[in-house]
């Protein structure tokens, strides 16, 4: 869409797309090029030319000693500005971002990050594409993750909770500026030559419409605004002091615990020890399904209807899993000595 629009607007050079290391946007050639994870690039000859990546906005690992969240955000915005200037603003079309990075480890950006990033994009006439596949539909406590972080996107991509994931459906929303650009192109070319066999499938669309109605009927937004902060607070209270947990992070009903070997140095375990995957086994044994991501980050994304009592139960079970893993790791360390 972005390329089509820029061709239609007579600026065929403006095509490069910038996303971020550890981003996850999918695994087609284009979306995997946007993704910033080695497993999705290595052996697939990706990223394709014209896809660039800037730093992950993760204060815990990325900040310099003593650097505040605000100063870290300023540095990342400067990095983006420098990259756009180096490449030539006339060649850069769009910046792609998940409001909260999901598969990369549930990374909540530092304060003021998006405000500063958007100022850079505006200066260079670069579009903001928000990937709301995880964040959309109340996950972060607002209808869109963009609202939680003050983002005004030009294009917004959504899926998952659009149908509560009962049927596969996704959507792309564009603002008037992008729409007009595309309309211009299609009036010249004669058609919007871009569609799939199952685009606009009526069964999936009916399920999505019903899902959105149910969200309104049960006021799921009010529920998430109540239970989300509770989950965040309880997770911090319970796990910040745990010997295996380096950081507890998240917003609304999405969160992560990051397992570390050295809490003071923010140093992760050697990947060969498989601390994250082994925690999942302990989780299963204790009746909780967790997800291990990059750097042994353990992801939580409970159903939006979860209650406070269920949050407590989920965290009780997680605590047992963590303690089980801690015992295993201690035994191994003793055996190694």
Ligand X SMILES: Cc1ncc(COP(=O)(O)O)c(C=O)c1O
The residue ranges that bind ligand X (CB under 6 A) are 24-26, 98, 102-103, 131, 133-134, 159
Q: What is the DSSP string of 265-283?
A: TTBPPPGGG-HHHHHHHHH
Q: How far is the CB of 30 from ligand X (least distance, A)?
A: 11
Contact 97, 134 (CB under 8 A): no
Q: How far is the CB of 274 from ligand X (least distance, A)?
A: 22
Q: Quick one: 159 or 329, whose CB is closer to ligand X?
A: 159
Q: Quick one: 134 or 156, whose CB is closer to ligand X?
A: 134
Q: Quick one: 54 or 260, whose CB is closer to ligand X?
A: 54
Q: How far apart are CA 224 and CA 40, in angstroms?
A: 32
Q: How far is the CB of 101 from ligand X (least distance, A)?
A: 8
Q: Quick one: 110 or 299, whose CB is closer to ligand X?
A: 299
Q: Quick one: 8 or 158, whose CB is closer to ligand X?
A: 158
Q: How far apart are CA 164 and CA 187, in angstroms?
A: 36
Q: How far is the CB of 99 from ligand X (least distance, A)?
A: 9
Q: Quick one: 73 or 254, whose CB is closer to ligand X?
A: 254
Q: How far apart are CA 254 and CA 268, in angstroms?
A: 21
Cis peptide before 47 (omega within 30 of 0): yes
Q: How far is the CB of 144 from ligand X (least distance, A)?
A: 13
Tokens of 278: 């082994």
Q: How far is the CB of 104 from ligand X (least distance, A)?
A: 9
Q: Quick one: 129 or 260, whose CB is closer to ligand X?
A: 129
Q: How far is the CB of 267 from ligand X (least distance, A)?
A: 27
Contact 42, 120 (CB under 8 A): no
Residue 114's Cβ-side half-sphere holds a number of Cα atoms within 13 Å equal to 20
Nearest to 283 by CA among 268, 298, 301, 262: 298
| DSSP annotation of 109 | P
- Classified as helix, coil or strand, 130 is strand
């Amino acid at each position: 869409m972005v390329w089509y629009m820029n061709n239609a607007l007579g600026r065929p050079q403006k095509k490069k797309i910038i996303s971020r290391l550890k981003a996850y946007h999918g695994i087609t050639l284009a979306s995997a090029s946007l993704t910033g994870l080695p497993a999705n690039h290595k052996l697939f000859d990706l990223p394709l030319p014209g896809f660039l990546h800037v730093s992950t906005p993760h204060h815990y690992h990325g900040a310099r000693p003593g650097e505040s969240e605000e100063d870290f955000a300023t540095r990342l915005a400067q990095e983006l500005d420098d990259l756009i200037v180096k490449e030539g603003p006339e060649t850069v079309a769009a910046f792609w971002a998940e409001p909260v990075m999901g598969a990369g480890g549930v990374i909540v950006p530092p304060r003021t990050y998006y405000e500063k990033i958007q100022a850079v994009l505006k200066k260079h006439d670069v579009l903001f594409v928000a990937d709301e596949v995880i964040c959309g539909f109340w996950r972060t406590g607002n209808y869109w993750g963009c609202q939680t972080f003050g983002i005004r996107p030009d294009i917004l991509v959504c899926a998952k909770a659009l149908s509560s994931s009962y049927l596969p459906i996704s959507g792309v929303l564009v603002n008037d500026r992008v729409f007009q650009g595309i309309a211009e192109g299609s009036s010249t070319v004669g058609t919007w030559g871009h569609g799939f066999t199952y685009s606009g499938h009526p069964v999936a669309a009916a399920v999505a419409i019903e899902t959105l109605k149910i969200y309104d009927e049960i006021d799921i937004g009010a529920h998430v605004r109540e239970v989300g902060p509770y989950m965040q607070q309880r997770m911090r209270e319970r796990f910040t002091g745990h010997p295996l947990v380096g950081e507890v992070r998240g917003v609304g009903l999405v969160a992560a615990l990051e397992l570390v070997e050295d809490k003071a140095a923010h140093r992760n375990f050697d990947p060969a020890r498989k601390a994250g995957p082994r925690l999942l086994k302990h989780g299963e044994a204790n009746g909780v399904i967790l997800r291990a991501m990059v750097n042994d980050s353990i992801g939580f994304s409970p159903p939006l209807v979860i209650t406070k009592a269920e949050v407590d139960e989920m965290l009780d079970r997680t605590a047992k899993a963590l303690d089980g893993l801690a015992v295993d790791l201690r035994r191994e360390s003793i055996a190694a000595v």
